[in-house]
Structure 1
């Protein structure tokens, strides 16, 4: 029995219209060229044929009521309209065909190039070595003054940020709980790329763990087109009826943004999110995202004209217990202090969007590039668990990239929040100078007991030690509140972890000062 044929017969019977199979008899080419894929999916109808006697044949998956007739006549004035029944899956096929026409083969754009290059790391290494050598030869009084100044910068920056983190352990956008009435929940689109049978089964298992009514879920399984192995795996996995399988052209599937944009064209939800194959979102993440979006909408309406709408909510991505290294645990402790400033990852997954605003701003590229002025994507108090976190090298590189892009955005927008994020790295520019410089000054001053220079050096080192100790205590308290006392023990290793912050900050400065031409990264 053909399930697609059965669906079409059921749709025709329900709508009391003759049936038309849009896969076997697609819209004529000149009409297909004018199709807006997003509108086809959202409105539920498509013009598919203009007969010789002037009738416009319109395939619809929604009842042909007076409002639908007016809607069609508005777009095709002066035409006699003839309605035929089709299924939503047929409309998806039409939308994908129109999308392929709009995005011809080879049109996928590679991810943005890195702004931080190996040259910048080399420059920081050379300058750091030169500064360390110079510290042993400059007059001790000069070194002591430099240490004191940088220690004060570190003291003020770290202390103010630590106090702010302790007094407000909530995210920028707090996740709401909602009112518990499932009938009021909006449709929510979930995009799940799956490249093989194992990832198909994992994706379906992740969907099953979500605490969201299936009849309000619009789940799209994105699979590579013309891949017989994956297609067979999908058939064996037998996705439920509310999961749509979307084939993505091979040349676009390898680009995560282009692949997700294919799914976005078919989205029917008010909100949309994509999850990578190795990500497992918290069960209540969708409900809490809806509550946060709705609360922000209410606040915007109360604020009146000029309020900037919330486009996206970025959930934290954490490694699971099996894949979590000591470095990953230190990173989690570090984030409790919020000392890193702008740390958002330039990845499109685990970020929830207002679907229409995402389309208006060009699709999922918005999540992996610099944000234009007037676009808000805020951190969100929910977690998606993944197999493993990036190691220290990748983490440092991503942090430097984020700071370079933050500086550029601050120059372009001048927004106070963005400017604050740019000022935070100054704390870490001062960190190695204050600590290493104080150690060098203390070593050099051992033979000059009571000398003013040595006293100043030890004063600077003492200030740095006080701030380090205070920050470690604040981090331990914050993490103990969120993740328990055992996790708080990793706060003791923060001073070492902050050296990576310092490297990232200095590399970002090098990238801003010395710009290099580089090809775009391969997808």
Structure 2
């Protein structure tokens, strides 16, 4: 079925008393000659099978949130959106899609992909049909619209929000996914990982490798000494950053007075994006987690983001009884098959003032969105992102999950709060990032060619002059607890950090100007420090073992050799001491205090990280955009409980 829309109506709240009206008698709706407000919404709910108790409860919820009664009913699942739309169409003499036909919207794609983020005035021009989301407007507002249009009302086609999303995807999905993939590359090619290394970076790397190999051949001791001294700069930056984070945790600070959380009426519309791929088994847990969010249902815009090639998960999701505030967004098949590409596509349909990302296995604290909205409301406009804490509910599963939990504690309870306190750029985690939607769109959203898109996005926000903070709320996740899935996940992360470092060092002077000296140094301390230390860590052990076997440890014949060993020893002791102290402080005072003794095994864990780093380096040249999916829902332990 072809539908030629002139204008698309996104999610505007149209339910105020001034907009309440009534249609002419021919429309089949009730009239009131005294122009009194008619409770059409209650009549619709009764007609659609809502009980008196349900209606009373919905009226209270709608009044608290200042939303339409019908919108509250659809969002909470009391009535179905399809039933509401069909009933409205019949009552107001509006058109509706023919049963069994797939509606298509042959309008220009550049209008279609602005469907859900740009306000569009409703108009009825000759020969044009108007596709309207029937869940956006209350029945009273639609009745007034029908009366104003008169005979032209037949040009208005009411559709459900899900139906409109599906129609747009069928009509313009290929163009929209192309924008999701190439948008950043076309607007800011210097910020896209697709472009690879700059010419000067390739020349520099080639010359540097050649010089090092030649120097090692002719003066190995002196070369190793000089290389160790140069690498120690990265190590010392990393050591300083982690030591400062440990001190930041250890120093007592007065507890900040908690702000009053916004009430339902004050809360803005919030979009929740949940990308899934081959996650059939975890869908029921996801539905439960989404239902546990403490936020007015009618102000939640939840998008389950699916890949067209993943038919099993699509079919499983379609069978679940999600409430009316949950939509399924199916991303057309297009390389690269990455999470950021899927998020970029889904962002076209997001209607919230704020956007948050959750993974399939995530269990955020129920009031997290309310806390984030409160912080944003009280913060200056340049604070455009909040990173909630990530933690693991299966820390006790095995040695790997314990080390993974310690590592996350050091990042989300140690490093990120320090960076946020001093307004330094934050490398975001892959989930529980809360954004101002306008700023996210402004900078081009996620880079679909960066396999650690979250950390890169944190740097781009900082370079654009925006600030990221941390949120005092926890999202519980499942720690990767099996060796091969852990290795693949860590390979992807490290490969993405290498991509991110390469992207933001294409123009070092420009990056330093935008980040500031402190931000530029912290960027190197985090990204370069992690990459270099992961690659150099096993080399140190090999050299130390060689010296021990030769019987020359700290007893070399020359000053250069001894200096090399002392530099390595300082980095070794300082690095381990700073990390162990930070890790110990990070897990102390939490439900993970039982991990205090396990921080001593961090050096062993780092050897596994080094293996992933070399695998990441290999993939960086042979499969730079390959996304190794992490399987979720494999833990044998119970689901999480509040912190």
TM-score bracket for the superposition, by shorter chain length: 0.5 to 0.7
Q: Does 1:21 align with 2:93?
A: no
Q: Shift of residue 112 of structure 1?
A: 4.9
Query: Is contact 1:31-1:49 (8 Å) kept?
Result: no
Which of 184, 196, 211 is residue 266 of structure 2 equivalent to? 184
SS in 2 for 1:266: coil
Query: Is contact 1:280-1:385 (8 Å) kept?
Result: yes
SS in 2 for 1:168: helix
Q: Which runs of 5+ in 1 are unaligned?
A: 74-79, 301-308
Q: Shift of residue 384 of structure 1?
A: 4.5
Query: Is contact 2:81-2:324 (8 Å) kept?
Result: no
- Any residues of structure 2 matched to 1:365-376 within 5 Å, and which? 365=447, 367=453, 371=460, 373-374=463-464, 376=466
Distance 1:11 1:34 in 2: 29
Query: Is contact 2:505-2:511 (8 Å) kept?
Result: no
Q: Shift of residue 257 of structure 1?
A: 3.4
Q: Does 1:274 align with 2:372?
A: no
Distance 1:388 1:57, change over 3 A: closer
Distance 1:200 1:156, change over 3 A: closer
Q: Does 1:521 align with 2:625?
A: yes
SS in 2 for 1:288: helix
Distance 1:198 1:210, change over 3 A: same
Query: Is contact 2:109-2:176 (8 Å) kept?
Result: no
Which of 382, 407, 414 is residue 505 of structure 2 equivalent to? 407
- Any residues of structure 2 matched to 1:191-230 within 5 Å, and which? 191-194=273-276, 197-223=280-306
Query: Is contact 1:49-1:57 (8 Å) kept?
Result: no
- Any residues of structure 2 matched to 1:48-447 within 5 Å, and which? 50-51=126-127, 59=132, 61=134, 62=137, 84=156, 86-89=158-161, 90-97=163-170, 99-100=172-173, 102-103=175-176, 112=193, 138=221, 153=233, 156-157=236-237, 160-169=240-249, 179-194=261-276, 197-223=280-306, 233-234=316-317, 236-251=319-334, 254-295=337-378, 298-300=379-381, 309-315=382-388, 317-321=390-394, 322=397, 325-332=401-408, 334-335=410-411, 338=415, 344=427, 349-365=431-447, 367=453, 371=460, 373-374=463-464, 376=466, 378=468, 380-381=470-471, 382-388=474-480, 390-391=486-487, 393=491, 396-408=494-506, 410-414=508-512, 415-416=515-516, 417-424=518-525, 443-444=551-552
Q: How many residues align?
A: 484
1:479 match: 587
Query: Is contact 1:313-1:378 (8 Å) kept?
Result: yes
Q: Does 1:11 align with 2:92?
A: no
Query: Is contact 1:190-1:275 (8 Å) kept?
Result: yes
Distance 1:253 1:282, change over 3 A: farther
Distance 1:33 1:238, change over 3 A: same
Distance 2:401 2:299 in 1: 37
Distance 2:392 2:208 in 1: 30
- Residue by residue over 1:46-66, the C-alpha shift from the partner in whole angstroms, topping out at 9 and shown as x without a partner, is 667733xxx876747437979
Query: Is contact 1:175-1:291 (8 Å) kept?
Result: no
Distance 1:505 1:241, change over 3 A: closer
Query: Is contact 2:97-2:157 (8 Å) kept?
Result: no
Distance 1:273 1:468, change over 3 A: closer
Q: Shift of residue 130 of structure 1?
A: 11
Query: Is contact 1:191-1:219 (8 Å) kept?
Result: yes
Query: Which segment is superposed worse, 184-193 or 1-10?
Result: 1-10
Query: Is contact 1:175-1:289 (8 Å) kept?
Result: no
Q: What value does the CA root-mean-square deviation take over the aligned residues?
A: 5.7
Query: Is contact 1:211-1:287 (8 Å) kept?
Result: yes
- Residue by residue over 1:278-315, the C-alpha shift from the partner in whole angstroms, topping out at 9 and shown as x without a partner, is 333343332233234334xx334xxxxxxxx3443344
Distance 2:409 2:109 in 1: 53
Distance 1:280 1:420, change over 3 A: same
Distance 1:257 1:84, change over 3 A: same
SS in 2 for 1:353: strand
Q: TM-score, normalised on structure 1?
A: 0.68
Q: Shift of residue 331 of structure 1?
A: 2.4
The structure showing larger relative contact order (alpha-carbon pairs under 8 Å, at least 6 residues apart) is 1
Distance 1:500 1:403 in 2: 22
Q: TM-score, normalised on structure 2?
A: 0.57
Distance 1:503 1:98, change over 3 A: same
Distance 2:179 2:327 in 1: 25
SS in 2 for 1:189: strand
Distance 1:167 1:345 in 2: 22
Distance 1:199 1:445, change over 3 A: closer
Q: Shift of residue 409 of structure 1?
A: 6.5
Query: Is contact 2:177-2:332 (8 Å) kept?
Result: no
Distance 1:405 1:18 in 2: 56
SS in 2 for 1:365: coil
Query: Is contact 1:271-1:355 (8 Å) kept?
Result: yes
